[in-house]
Structure 1
Amino acid sequence: MTVVESIMMTVASIVPNYLMGIITGAGIQGIMLLNGGYFRLPNDLPDPIWRYPMYYIAFHTYTNQGFYKNEYEGLSFDNDRAGGPPTISGNEVLRSFWQVDMGYSKWVDLAILVSMVVIYRLMFWGIIISVEKVKPILKFYMAASPKQSSMILENPTPISSQQEMV
């Protein structure tokens, strides 16, 4: 939940309208949810965009993997498959069925999530600071831009030659 709040804070600092911020944040989180490995397993995601950058950027990836590791590691289940061993370990279920990366523990997943919170909060802070510093500079240069010169005429209405003679 803290990661979601941090993402929404970052989006809110970029988008000027609150309604557009909600829409943009929901879109970002929807894309992350689709690529997090819950709806489609990691090996089923297309490689160029959806797997390599998006799968590893999505916080759902590490949330799901940490949850699955917490629940299935160390357990043993009955195997209903013909010709297989009578039981199957939770680690094998994670590796083969859920396609979870077992190269690290659930605590690494938690550390990645905490680091995402820190990174998004730093992005929020950086955007706020840069807007505070850049906005007055932009206002100054826009106010100091060359203005159109206007001549003040004594009589701005055109006078025809006949009126001059009268």
Structure 2
Amino acid sequence: MPTDGGTMEKKGSQAGFINQCLVLTRRSFVNMYRDLGYYWLRLAIYIALCLCVGTIYHNIGSSFGSIQARGSMLMFVAAFLTFMAIGGFPSFVEDMKIFTRERLNGHYGVGAFVVGNTFSSMPYLFMISVIPGAMAYYLTGLQKGHDHFVYFVVMLFACMLLVESLMMIVASIVPDFLMGIITGAGIQGVMMLNGGFFRLPNDLPKPFWRYPMYYIAFHKYANQGFYKNEFEGLTFPNPTGGSISGEEILKSTWQVEMGYSKWVDVGILLGMVVLYRLMFLGIIKTVEKVKPILRSLMASTSNQSTHVEDPYSTPLH
């Protein structure tokens, strides 16, 4: 182990990118495992919430009234379960402080930090998606079939990964704990309103809310993916007689875009995850370049102000 800062900086600068990513991934994984508040407390809360969801919507059946119940349950999963990912914000802030200190010492680069943080969190997020997700899915009695449950878990995992990526961006811009949580909650609240549940897509005001906010909000793709996964292939009794197919419900009731597969919605969310991580990397890089410029400008301004001679003062002899 190196004994001085200079040796550590030299070794850090000589380490390869892959080696840096592996070391940071392993260290971050261990830190997440030891910190009860990082994922373990969230897992317990998710289990409790999904038990509540599963018992409230227990065996909703296939009546006409279950259409609204299924949509509400899936919206809760897509919106409020993923919303709780902001609980990891305090840990993000601490990670950013450690990263800033070690980055100044030249131990590793920004890219290695982003990669390490991303891969170390994936096992925990997947665990949170599978265990509580299974409780909510099977207690509610959603569409049978392992392929439908697998899609449910994958979509939930993608949403949680995306929200964590969003909160990392917030942490890089707003490092204050309270202000960061408020900012992240506000951003997600606006996205929820444009997700296509509280206000159907065709009813959204077209300036700004429909274009572009509806397509920026990740809840749009989460809701539509969950709806396609659940309603496609099902039939429900029609109160006026006969039956109504799940595809008709998707088009008329939920106004889902049926021109592409439900897996495209997952792909869009994963693409947004990559975009958010790249934005996080770009923000850190920009801050690193802008900070020295601002400091030099402030220093030069301070020096100029100290050298300005007071016209009302007279020299002492």
Q: TM-score, normalised by structure 2?
A: 0.46
The residue number in structure 2 matching 1:65 is: 224
Q: Which of 144, 154, 158 in structure 1 is aligned with 2:300?
A: 144
Query: For residues 111 and 147 of structure 1, what CA distance do their matches in structure 2 show?
Result: 56
Q: Which of 190, 194, 199 in structure 2 is aligned with 1:40?
A: 199
> Could you report, residue by residue, the CA deviation over 1:106-151 in whole angstroms, capped at 9, with x for unpaired residues?
1010001001111111101100111012101211222123233247
Q: Which of 267, 271, 281 in structure 2 is aligned with 1:115?
A: 271
Deviates more, 1:10-19 or 1:39-48: 10-19
Amino acid corresponding to residue 273 of structure 2 in structure 1: V
Query: For residues 137 and 49 of structure 1, what CA distance do their matches in structure 2 show?
Result: 36
Query: For residues 18 and 153 of structure 1, what CA distance do their matches in structure 2 show?
Result: 52
2:244 is paired with a residue whose SS is strand
How far apart are 1:77 and its partner, in Å?
1.7
The residue number in structure 2 matching 1:153 is: 315
Say whether residues 1:18 and 2:177 are aligned partners: yes
Query: For residues 21 and 57 of structure 1, what CA distance do their matches in structure 2 show?
Result: 21
How far apart are 1:44 and its partner, in Å?
1.5
The residue number in structure 2 matching 1:162 is: none
The residue number in structure 2 matching 1:31 is: 190
Amino acid corresponding to residue 54 of structure 1 in structure 2: M
Equivalenced residue count is: 152
Query: For residues 115 and 136 of structure 1, what CA distance do their matches in structure 2 show?
Result: 33
Amino acid corresponding to residue 297 of structure 2 in structure 1: Y
The residue number in structure 1 matching 2:168 is: 9
Q: Which of 99, 103, 127 in structure 1 is aligned with 2:283?
A: 127
Query: For residues 125 and 88 of structure 1, what CA distance do their matches in structure 2 show?
Result: 48
Which is bigger in relative contact order (C-alpha 8 A, separation at least 6)?
1
Say whether residues 1:102 and 2:261 are aligned partners: no
Query: For residues 36 and 18 of structure 1, what CA distance do their matches in structure 2 show?
Result: 27
How far apart are 1:62 and its partner, in Å?
0.4
How far apart are 1:22 and its partner, in Å?
1.0
How far apart are 1:153 and its partner, in Å?
3.2
The residue number in structure 2 matching 1:92 is: 248
The structure number with the bigger radius of gyration is 1
How far apart are 1:76 and its partner, in Å?
1.7
1:99 is paired with a residue whose SS is coil
Q: Which of 26, 51, 75 in structure 1 is aligned with 2:234?
A: 75
1:147 is paired with a residue whose SS is helix
Q: TM-score, normalised by structure 1?
A: 0.85
How far apart are 1:18 and its partner, in Å?
2.1
> Could you report, residue by residue, the CA deviation over 1:32-54 in whole angstroms, capped at 9, with x for unpaired residues?
00111111111111111111111
Task: Return 5+ residue gaps in structure 1 as ranges.
Answer: 156-166
Query: For residues 78 and 119 of structure 1, what CA distance do their matches in structure 2 show?
Result: 43
Identity, % of aligned pairs?
68
The residue number in structure 2 matching 1:160 is: none
1:23 is paired with a residue whose SS is helix
How far apart are 1:14 and its partner, in Å?
1.3
